[in-house]
């Protein structure tokens, strides 16, 4: 069975965001408990997990921990960890791991810029709106391969489900213009996120009972621009 690195938390009377090596992994607005898989964002040694807090009451509390978990293991996100609410509004935790998925990505990616990533995002939306499956397969080669490796299933099993997901956003979920978007560099001038200026992900669709969305985090690899997370 595969192993993963996870981070769990429980919190009350506070809100916080958390990033792992620059990638957002938590955006907690109302306390409670939760869990995130950190494996895709790890660089091996010297991983940096950063929390930024807003206290909402005099008894704000927070507990979090990082550990490895087996695939399929039931994890209690409410268990106490060795990270506690700091005196200030920021908590930084540095740790090593045997996993380095992000480092491998950075080692193969080329330096890019916001203009290039914005153009790629528009091409991506165009492919979704036109139902261009060959283009979407090309743009998502890296992500499909990673999913195949992570979950131990053949690539030909991963592709249909992922391509079907894009059809959901074909009607309205990819209707954006360049003026609607902003580009944020995540790490090392190589990995960027393109999202809407209103804070929503690139792919976003309102529904009667809520909304659906999909992030767009991309890099330039040897065979061209790719969605990588």
Element (H, E) at 205: strand 203-207
Q: Look up residue 201 and give its DSSP letter.
A: B
Phi, psi of 194 (to 5 degrees): -110, 125
User: What does the pLDDT average to over 107-125?
Assistant: 97
Q: Write a three-state SS string for 78-142.
A: CCCCCEECCCCCEEEEEECCCCCHHHHHHHHCECCCHHHHHHHHHHHHHHHHHCCHHHHHHHCHH
pLDDT classification of 3: cutoffs 50, 70, 90: confident
Question: pTM of the entire structure?
Answer: 0.87
User: What does the pLDDT average to over 97-103?
Assistant: 95
Domain edges within the chain: 3-104, 109-227
**pLDDT tens, 60-82?**
999 999 999 887 777 777 777 89
pLDDT classification of 24: cutoffs 50, 70, 90: very high
Give the residue among 143, 145, 125 at the shortest CA–CA distance from 135.
Answer: 125
pLDDT classification of 1: cutoffs 50, 70, 90: very low
**pLDDT for res 208:** 78
Give the pair of three-digit tokens for residue 79: 């268990």
User: What does the pLDDT average to over 2-7?
Assistant: 87
Contacts 24+ apart (CB under 8 A), 69-73: 69/3, 69/4, 69/5, 69/6, 70/1, 70/2, 70/3, 70/4, 71/1, 71/2, 71/3, 71/4, 72/1
Distances (CA, A) of 67 to 4, 142, 151: 8, 26, 19
Give the pair of three-digit tokens for residue 5: 């690195």
pLDDT classification of 40: cutoffs 50, 70, 90: very high
pLDDT classification of 123: cutoffs 50, 70, 90: very high
**pLDDT for res 2:** 65
Contacts of residue 84, Cβ cutoff 8 Å, sequence gap at least 6: 62, 63
User: What does the pLDDT average to over 90-104?
Assistant: 96
**For the chain, what is the mean pLDDT?**
93
Task: Tell me how far apart the alpha carbons of residues 94 and 90 are, in angstroms, rounded to a whole number.
Answer: 13
**pLDDT for res 49:** 98
Residue 8 has pLDDT above 50, yes or no: yes
Helix (H, G, I), strand (E, B) or coil at 52: strand
On the 0-12 / 13-18 / 19+ scale of CB atoms within 10 A, 173 is buried
Task: Tell me how far apart the alpha carbons of residues 118 and 113 are, in angstroms, rounded to a whole number.
Answer: 9
Give percent of the chain above pLDDT 70.
Answer: 99
User: What does the pLDDT average to over 33-42?
Assistant: 94
Give percent of the chain above pLDDT 90.
Answer: 79
């Amino acid at each position: 069975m595969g192993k993963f690195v996870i981070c769990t938390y429980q919190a009350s009377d506070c809100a916080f965001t958390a990033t792992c090596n620059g990638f957002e992994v938590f955006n907690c607005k109302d306390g409670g408990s939760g869990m995130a898989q950190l494996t895709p964002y790890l660089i091996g040694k010297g991983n940096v997990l950063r929390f930024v807090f807003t206290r909402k009451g005099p008894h704000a509390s927070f507990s979090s921990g990082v550990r490895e978990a087996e695939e399929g293991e039931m994890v209690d996100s409410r268990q106490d960890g060795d990270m506690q609410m700091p005196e200030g509004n920021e908590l930084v935790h540095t740790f090593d791991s045997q996993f380095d998925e992000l480092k491998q990505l950075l080692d193969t990616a080329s330096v890019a810029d916001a203009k290039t990533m914005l153009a790629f995002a528009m091409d991506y939306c165009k492919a979704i709106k036109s139902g261009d499956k060959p283009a979407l397969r090309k743009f998502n080669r890296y992500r499909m391969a990673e999913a195949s490796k992570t979950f131990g299933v053949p690539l030909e099993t991963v592709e249909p489900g992922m391509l079907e997901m894009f059809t959901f956003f074909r009607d309205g979920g990819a209707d954006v213009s360049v003026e609607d978007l902003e580009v944020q560099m995540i790490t090392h001038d190589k990995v960027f996120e393109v999202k809407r200026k209103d804070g929503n992900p690139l792919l976003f669709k309102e529904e009667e009972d809520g909304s659906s969305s999909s992030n767009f985090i991309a890099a330039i690899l040897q065979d061209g621009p790719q969605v990588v997370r």
